[in-house]
Structure 1
Amino acid sequence: MSIHDIIEGKKQWRAHMARVKALPPDYQIVYKEMQRYYFKVGPVDLLDGSLLSGIVDFFEEGVAAGRGVLELVGDDVAAFADELIKDSRTYADIYQGSISGK
């Protein structure tokens, strides 16, 4: 990875976080909790994929439609987050495989 790639990645991340900060406070809270969860156990390809930006897109559409964040994701935010990565290999899966000898 070159310096240019690192700088470009930081620019993209800052632009992404600016979009998050433009969301209403309740949306920001839910997004940040989902992000924290994904960074802990989330999919291996989290940073390469479009999961987080897709969530922001989804939330921006919800804001534009005048809907509350819990109307979009439901009362169980954790279940919603898990559903988004149900078919993805996670770091938790890798860890479980390493301790079980698989």
Structure 2
Amino acid sequence: MVAKWIEALTGSLDQKKQYKRHMARVDALPEPYGSAAKALNRYFLYYGGFTDGDTLIAMIGDHADMWERAAVDGTPVRAVVGDDPVEFAETFARSYSGKEWIDKERRRLTEAVDAAAGDSGGDEGALS
């Protein structure tokens, strides 16, 4: 009972454990893979805006898998991320659909404009 109450306040304890395991895998990567993976993970947390823990955990786990495979195969970092690491990171993160913090604001904006426009869906703002 106490665990459910704590999870209601802090989020899933299982997800936190999974996240820590994935991050430990990233920490164990040899260089230069570890540095690249850590930099990308940091960017994901700023860029992604995920509010859905399952989506974030899946993405971080797949990201760790990718870098582990690159390290085993000896794939150069640039061959993984390409010339534009920002484009790579954003494309990677977008491939994981989930709830984002901005979704709530998008809905609120749409509802506010619909209400202001009378929700007629027509040319309510056009001059007669």
Q: Tell me, what secondary structure is at the counterpart of 1:85? A: helix
Amino acid at match of 1:80: F
2:94 to 68, 73, 86: 86
Q: Which segments of 5 or more consecutive residues in structure 1 lack a partner in the other structure?
A: none
Distance 1:37 1:96, change over 3 A: farther
Which one has more relative contact order, counting CA pairs under 8 Å at least 6 apart?
1
Distance in 2 (CA, whole Å) between partners of 1:94 and 1:14 is 27
Q: TM-score scaled by structure 2?
A: 0.60
Q: Which residue pairs with 1:97 in the alignment?
A: 106
Q: TM-score scaled by structure 1?
A: 0.73
Give the number of aligned pairs: 99
Q: Does residue 18 of structure 1 match 2:18?
A: no
Distance 1:29 1:46, change over 3 A: farther
Q: Percent identity?
A: 29
Amino acid at match of 1:36: R
Q: Which has the larger radius of gyration?
A: 2
- Contact kept, 8 Å, 1:41 with 1:90, in 2: the verdict is no
Q: Tell me, what secondary structure is at the counterpart of 2:32? A: helix
Distance in 2 (CA, whole Å) between partners of 1:33 and 1:90 is 21
Distance 1:72 1:54, change over 3 A: same
Q: Tell me, what secondary structure is at the counterpart of 2:83? A: coil
Question: By how many angstroms is 1:77 displaced?
Answer: 1.1
